[in-house]
Amino acid sequence: MLIIVNARSAPRTDWDRSETPPGAVAQLLQASGVPIDRYSFDTVELLKDRQEIFSWRRELLIARARLAGATEAQAEASVPLPKLAVQMVEVSFDEIGEAKERDYFMNLPTSFVLPPDAIDQLRAVGRQLLRESQVYQLLVRDFGGAPAK
């Protein structure tokens, strides 16, 4: 199972309320988040593609073995690749229902240093979003567990 936490932030700016344009530093800081968001999206899509390619490769090896005369069981046993299903569970601050709470998390800086209370709140909201995810609940059921209420 792969759990993806989208930590994209969207800090508010008041650039549209001022007659003067933002300074170079403010623009640079704002622009630096765009490649990070794009890189995160591309990485997730790459992981999905790699899992699909892995599945196709396994299917082709089984088909080759079957064409060579192996039974289904023999073909499955002869393939060196395990049967693998990757389910991606993605959670994001965009899924927070209450606007004020969503705004708080979207305005937290993407930083290696945060106040302890912000870290506790991030952990709590991450746990909440994960438990509310339908994909995650299905995975929990598949593993024999009971989904969180």
Cα→Cα distances 86→52, 53, 99, 113, Å: 9, 12, 32, 32
Q: What is the pLDDT of residue 82?
A: 84
**Maximum alpha-carbon separation in the chain:** 76
Q: What is the pLDDT of residue 30?
A: 58
Select the more confidently predicted residue: 2 or 77. Answer: 77
Whether 34 shows a pLDDT value over 60: the answer reads no
The domains of the chain are located at: 2-142
| 121-141 pLDDT tens trace | 999 999 999 899 988 898 889
| 41-94 pLDDT tens trace | 777 788 888 888 988 999 999 999 999 999 999 999 999 988 877 777 888 888
CB-neighbour burial class of residue 62 (10 A; exposed 0-12, middle 13-18, buried 19+): buried
